[in-house]
Amino acid sequence: MNAQSINRRKLVIANWKMHGDISSNQHLLQAVIHGLSDYQQADYVICPPNPYLFQARELLSNTKIAWGGQNVNQHDKGAFTGAVAAHMLTDLGCTYVLLGHSERRVLFNETNLTAAARFDASVKSGLTPVLCVGETLAEHEAGLTEVIVASQMDAVMATLNDQSFAAAMQVNMVFAYEPVWAVGTGKTATPEQAQAVHAFIRHRIAMRNSEAAGHVRIVYGGSIKADNAKKLFSMPDVDGGLVGGASLSADEFIAICKAAN
Ligand code: PGA
């Protein structure tokens, strides 16, 4: 296997958002662990709400499934009520963290600037950031997809100094193309639409570092289901998926993960 095929093993990430409780999580996690035990050709990550990271650690520790946070704060510590620092996530065994999700941007007023600062803090703590980018429906219809995605990518790429960029490569940073019009709507980008934007994202990374562009995983998110995953994952620049709603059903999520094998 060459370096590229190792680094670009398919990756499927579950974003549970604000769902679950101790009992239902336990059933879901156990079913997923069992369902994926024979499917080791891809990497899997579960991102539960923060209070359940402890439970994820307990159940996933001796499996091939990783766990991560749904967000992180850029500060290391201090008077930031409600915030969680990167080292707190690593303390709980997290190896991944989602950043810049459209729900964070729209509902919690997070910006490209905060996403960039959080990206930097994450890689410095050894967490693999999954930076979400994507255009709204209005932007899509106005033909602005590339302009928006470029501005979201550049906000992060431009703030990383060489040392941070090297750290980001070290932790195998991930990008997620999540068209906002497809997130939680039941509408999915066609495999061709996703491929075109993923290739654009890879090109944007290459402008900073061509070696990194060949290795970076770019996953697609937005109403992935068992019946559309295979086609999406077969596109050359689609390296896996970020799954919201369908990750709450063990059967659906396992089927999506199998499609990545
Ligand atoms: P969805 O969510 O799969 O429910 O569209 C994806 C996401 O928000 O990451």
Domain ranges of the chain: 8-259
Q: What phi and psi values does residue 2 have, to the nearest 5 degrees?
A: -85, 170
Position in ligand 1 atom list of the atom nearest CA 182: 5
3 state DSSP class of 149:
helix
| CATH architecture classification, 8-259 | Alpha-Beta Barrel (3.20)
Classify 180 as helix, strand or coil. helix
Rounded distance between C-alpha atoms, residue 142 and residue 201, angstroms: 19
Pull the structure tokens for residue 104.
């964070």
CA distance 1 to 29: 31
Q: What's the rounded Cα separation, in Å, for the pair 232 and 249?
A: 20
Q: How far is the CA of 218 from the centre of ligand 1 (A)?
A: 15
What is residue 221's predicted lDDT score, i.e. its pLDDT?
98
> How buried is residue 37: exposed, middle or buried, by Cβ count under 10 Å (0-12/13-18/19+)?
exposed
Whether the CB of 36 sits within 6 Å of ligand 1: no
Place of tokens 């959080």: 118
The pLDDT score that the predictor gives to residue 5 is 43
Distance of CA 44 from the midpoint of ligand 1 (Å) = 16
User: Structure tokens of 193?
Assistant: 């639409």
Residue 144: predicted pLDDT? 98
Residue 134 Cβ < 6 Å to ligand 1:
no
Radius of gyration of the chain (CA): 17
Q: What is the pLDDT along the chain (261 residues), one digit of tens a residue?
A: 344 444 799 999 999 999 999 999 999 999 999 999 999 999 999 999 999 999 999 999 999 999 999 999 999 999 999 999 999 999 999 999 999 999 999 999 999 999 999 999 999 999 999 999 999 999 999 999 999 999 999 999 988 999 999 999 999 999 999 999 999 999 999 999 999 999 999 999 999 999 999 999 999 999 999 999 999 999 999 999 999 999 999 999 999 999 999
Nearest to 235 by CA among 189, 180, 184: 189
Q: Supply the angle between the helices 22-36 and 250-259 in degrees, to the nearest 10.
A: 30
Q: Is the CB of 129 under 6 A from ligand 1?
A: no
Q: How far apart are CA 10 and CA 232, in angstroms?
A: 12
Question: Which residue CA neighbors atom 6 of ligand 1 most closely?
Answer: 244
